[in-house]
A and B are shown apart, each in its own frame.
Chain A
Amino acid sequence: MRRIARLTSLVALTLLFLGTAPAMAQSTFIFGAQGEPVDLDPAIITDGISSRITRQIYEGLTKYKGATTEVVPALAEKWTVSADGTAWTFTLRRNVKFHDGTPFDAAAVVWNFERWRFTKHPQHENQLKAGKTFEYYEAQFGGFDDKSLITKVEAVNPTTVRITLKAPQGPFLANLAMFVFDMVSPKAAEKWGTALSKNPVGTGPFKFVEWKVGQEVILEANKDYWDKATAAKVQRVIVRNIKDSSQRLAALKAGEIHGMEGVNPDDVKVVRADPNLQIILRPTNTTGYVAFNYKVKEFQNKRVRQAIAQAINKKGIVDALYGGTGMAANQFQPPPLWGHNKDLKDFEFNPQRSRDLLKEAGFAQGLKDITWEDGRKEPLQFWYMPVSRPYYPNPKEIAEAMAADLAKAGITVQLQTTDWAVYLDKRKNGQLPLYMLGWTGDNGDPDNFVCYFFCNPGASREGFYANQQLAEVLLQGQKLTDQPKRAELYRRAEQMIHDDVARIFIANNQPPLAFQKKVKGYVANPTSSEYFNTVSLQ
């Protein structure tokens, strides 16, 4: 009986919801996310689900333009750089206020930089004590305190900030446009401390209203936004957490949400066939790869690596398992990046050649077991990710397809996976012999793709791959500011990675987003976090 009562109330509620939907739809944009935000403090977070929300609330000095990674002014109106590339002077926009009413000025910028940079800054130290780190600052600017590439940030006057670097950095402006370096209100940060993550205060087109844990985050339009031309077109934004992708699509079809990320590859055609729905593809900025562990003796042999590379039918996998939104990759950087090497020729898919290579390498009977440097012998395990990511929308299927390809070339692998956090941990510690992973670019700079992986030769997280020459080329690229010269270096780096079969790049993807047809103006940015102020409902 109780169940019936519950059912009727559910039906009544649904009817009520449907009844009021048109009126609400004019003003509320509801987006279905794949999971729960971790935190809403932009300096702390590293994941796309959190940054999608912080991007609406916060802004940085620079930002990416529309569907590109071109850097354009945001809170900084313009900037100049000294001839040696180490001193940047930013002119800030006037009359910008944080949501708490405090002015955004040079002092606020200095305060933010000091918070990121100094481990002893009260609003940095308290985060560390709470077990949170400023991971991206460390990654992009070389470290904290004395290790930081940024050595001085000073307020020249209320609207001018000068930033001094130890050495020039090519991707500096692109780095500043990352969601991590969005400006938080110093007053709010001091008021809330670590609870800033639940009470975000920025300058952006939307203000934070409420975070219903496990359900949704609610934002409302900022009526005092500094730029009337790009002010929010909807009154409210709700980002709802719906983990299961089939359920998310059902919610979209039922009109409970207006848009969603993480469409199953096989659902792309379903959405396309639905007269009420549309697919928007995010420009490709993501690469899925298969990586070797160089502590495995067999993988120290280039012939074996190449045998594996030639055994995998990339095109077959991409055509079948990416729902028509992927393309086979032959290098780390996706085609739109300016460091992409167009002249690079990939190994052809050729299982017979793989067998021959294995034979030449001394594995005439095929490859089944591996030996670690410390003498441990074990069956060759191939690790696949337990979760779907933009570069591998369905890792298990892709892994099974690759395993079948490998088996046909005489390479027998055991498929393995584990919990996502454990997986990343094992990878970081260099415990996975052969594994799948990928990368989505943060700032459109080749450095962010290639250097992160290959600038620290012998790092455990990169399977102990040690290529000093490659690292030198990449570090040189990081220091230059001249783009054509840098592009040349990155193209060379890609060729070096390919020639050494350091890693096998499988696919680039244009991750699909699904929307109701009445959603207009959604611009998908390659960095995976876009502004919702352009979105309107018709």
Chain B
Amino acid sequence: MHRLLANRVARGGLAIIALFTLMAVLSPVFLPYNPTVDADLLARLKPPTWTHPFGTDALGRDILMRILHGARVSLGLGVGSVVLAALVGSFLGLLAGYVGHRTDLCLMFCMDILLAFPATLLAIAIVAMIGPGLRNSLIAISVVSIPFYARITRGEVLALKEREFVTAARGLGGSARRILLWHIFPNTLPPLTVQTTLAVAFAILEAAALGFLGLGAQPPIPEWGAMLADSYKFFTSGAWWAFFFPGAAIMLSVLGFNLVGDALRDALDPRLRT
């Protein structure tokens, strides 16, 4: 941890993540917002002022308010889908790596099939099948991220299960479940942590992409990707604030997770340890 904090880039990333997390957690508490009744057509597309620091959108809704509440949606989707994917993926990886043989072959074959498709395309296909919406886009994004976890965990398990401490545990009569859970699993965590942080960034981006295509959050839920999709057409009529701020929010949050992910990888890479 201290190695991470010593890194200036990581501190920047953590600060960004903290900022967005605060937005996601605090805005519902301090700034209650009901998107279903929010529309004031007389105040549409007003440039940033003190009352509307980020301006208003095509329906006269305060963009700052929607971005603050959008943080909850985007981060929720990002973190939620990654947690789901990590749980399922690492379980599959543990199973494949430890059991080996046919199970391994079978599971990894399935993962390879999933990996064969470009992630965004696969997510779109899944949402198209199960219907648009927040919950379904969360599922879609998790599904496309599962193979990464499965592969990483499996690789680690394959290496770990030949190590002496595992042999020792087995020699002492430890059950498979015990060995997996207490000896192997904890040691797969460092690479998974890096993957998870980077995956949150990817998931936020995917969620925004799905929202942009109208497959994610449904109106009037404030979601950054959807906000961007609704407003990029104002490029020609000069209302830059309508698409600039949602775009900036997506970029910043993704940047934050990427910076931390990179720094984590550096910090956890044994080859870089001195």
Contact = CB atoms under 8 A, between A and B. Distances in A.
Given A264-B236, A321-B41, A404 B218 contact: no
A403 B239 contact: no
Interface residues of A, number: 32
A264 B218 contact: no
Main secondary structure of the interface of B (DSSP, over half): loop
B237 A270 contact: yes
B59 A264 contact: no
B235 interface: yes
Contacts of A320: 41-42, 44, 60
A403 B218 contact: no
Interface size band for B: 20 to 34
Contacts of B39: 400-401, 404-405
B270 interface: no
Interface stretch (A10-18, A148-156, A196-204, A407-415): A407-415
Interface string B51-70: 00000001110000000000
B69 to A, nearest CB: 15
Contacts, number: 69
A344 interface: no
Interface string A133-159: 000000000000000000000000000
A415 B218 CA distance: 7
Nearest to B230: A396
Contacts of A166: none
Nearest to A414: B218
B232 interface: yes
Interface stretch (A30-38, A209-217, A243-251, A465-473): A243-251
A269 interface: yes
A458 B220 CA distance: 33
B160 to A, nearest CB: 45
A417 B36 CA distance: 17
A264 B237 contact: yes
B38 interface: yes
A403 to B, nearest CB: 7
A415 B219 contact: yes
28 contacts: A246-B235, A246-B236, A264-B233, A264-B236, A264-B237, A266-B45, A266-B233, A266-B239, A317-B41, A320-B41, A320-B44, A320-B60, A386-B214, A396-B219, A397-B230, A400-B39, A401-B41, A404-B37, A404-B38, A404-B39, A405-B39, A407-B36, A407-B37, A408-B37, A412-B36, A415-B218, A415-B220, A417-B214
Closest 9 CB pairs of A and B: A404-B39, A320-B41, A266-B237, A407-B36, A407-B37, A415-B219, A246-B236, A316-B41, A270-B237
